[in-house]
Amino acid sequence: MPGKVLTNYDLEKMVDTTDDWIIQRTGIKQRRIVENGQITSDLATQASLRAMEDAGVSPRDLDMIITSTITPDHIFPSTSCFIQQKIGATRAGAFDILAACAGFIYAMSIAQSFVNSGAVETVLVAGAECLSTITDYTDRTTCVLFGDGAGAVVIQKSLTQHEILSTSLAADGSQADILIMPGGGARSPASLESIQQRAHYIQFKGKEVFKLAIQNITSLILETVNKNNLTIEDIDLIIPHQSNLRIIEATMEKLGLPMEKAFVNIDKYGNTSSASIPIAIDEARREGRLRRGDLVMLVAFGGGLTWGSSVIRW
């Protein structure tokens, strides 16, 4: 996580908002923000080095690097290539994927498939974001939500470590415009006009995203447990994408599960898109919330729309 803390009180000085409103409507108290020229690949590099140390692999062991991000260092080359260079993973192929807040689960599923097929042995998957670079700090409806950060995991075939039992991916492109950064792509390249329209920032229809998130996440969790011949009660911990505490609470209520079965750290970091799930996995592990043999469900929802889940035997 970057060192600079942006609190709700700091935001009170920037836009017409209050600490109370932000906590009541989102559960967020503060978020971390990059400074001094730090960029997405820097955060991802730190997270990747720590993940590799934990996993006992060296950069030369990596066959592939997959990074999920909506705030790449550049549109091209991929942020994974910068990470490859920074960590010295000279043998690794490298590419990025773009599936917004569900991106980390998409990336993990690609890594899992490559490893299971036998094509490669060791894949580094990173989720990293500098959302502060695409957040409009004059728009109170969006700027209170987002933060920066990174997390990473190493995926390998192993008989002794945690096992990914299944991943499920979904998308609905018909709702692409409800959560979007309109400027900067082929449809609207950077221009004086696009800058004046503030098109290079995240824009969303908050209420619609909110409703669809709860609906789709709940259905996917239930489908995923069925697919694995499990019941919802078998799941020991749900690690949801951290976009709004009320989304997490409503989902748990619909599932009939107590909030103790959900991991929450949105109060400290806000919504970090692709980085949110790997950051949460790391914290849950450090806090002793993940015990060997536990069934863990990762679930995320975001722009695209895209959503996905993953069941892990810890």
Q: For residues 36-53, b (16+ Cβ closer than 10 Å) or e, as one string? A: eebbbbbbbbbbbbebbe
Dihedral of the alpha carbons of 243, 245, 246, 251, in degrees to the nearest 10: 80
Counting every residue, how long is the chain?
314
Pick from 13, 207, 286, 292 the residue near ligand UT7 by CB under 6 A.
Answer: 207
Nearer to ligand UT7, 180 or 230 (CB): 180
Pick from 40, 271, 272, 306 the residue near ligand UT7 by CB under 6 A.
Answer: 271
281 binds ligand UT7 per the rule CB under 6 A = no
Nearer to ligand UT7, 138 or 158 (CB): 138
Residues 99-158 that bind ligand UT7 (CB under 6 A): 101, 140-141, 144
Q: How far is the C-alpha of 89 from the C-alpha of 183, rounded, in Å? A: 33
The secondary structure of residue 193, as a DSSP letter, is H
Q: How many amino acids of this chain bind ligand UT7 (CB under 6 A)?
A: 18
Pick from 7, 21, 98, 180 the residue near ligand UT7 by CB under 6 A.
Answer: 21
Nearer to ligand UT7, 21 or 95 (CB): 21
Nearer to ligand UT7, 52 or 144 (CB): 144
Reading the block at residue 207, the tokens are: 């209420």
> How near is the Cβ of 299 to ligand UT7 at its closest, in Å?
12
Q: For residues 294-304, b (16+ Cβ closer than 10 Å) or e, as one string? A: ebbbbbbbbbb
Nearer to ligand UT7, 25 or 313 (CB): 25
Q: Which of 86, 102, 96, 100 is nearest to 52 (CA)?
A: 86
Residue nearest to ligand UT7 (CB): 206
What stretches of the chain show up as alpha helix (H) in DSSP? 8-12, 19-26, 40-55, 79-87, 103-117, 140-143, 192-196, 206-227, 245-255, 266-269, 276-286
Quickly count: other Cβ atoms within 10 Å of residue 102's Cβ: 28
26 binds ligand UT7 per the rule CB under 6 A = yes
162 binds ligand UT7 per the rule CB under 6 A = no
Q: How far is the C-alpha of 190 from the C-alpha of 75, rounded, in Å? A: 12
The percent helix, strand, coil of the chain (3-state, each to 5) is 45, 25, 35
17 binds ligand UT7 per the rule CB under 6 A = yes
> How near is the Cβ of 211 to ligand UT7 at its closest, in Å?
9
> How near is the Cβ of 88 to ligand UT7 at its closest, in Å?
33
What residues act catalytically? 101, 241, 271
Pick from 25, 50, 261, 313 the residue near ligand UT7 by CB under 6 A.
Answer: 25
> How near is the Cβ of 278 to ligand UT7 at its closest, in Å?
15
Nearer to ligand UT7, 21 or 137 (CB): 21
Q: How far is the C-alpha of 179 from the C-alpha of 169, rounded, in Å? A: 18
Q: What are the backbone angles phi and psi of residue 150, rounded to the nearest 5°? A: -155, 155
Q: Which residues in this chain contact ligand UT7 in the complex, by CB under 6 A?
A: 17, 21, 25-26, 101, 140-141, 144, 179, 204, 206-207, 209-210, 243-244, 271, 302
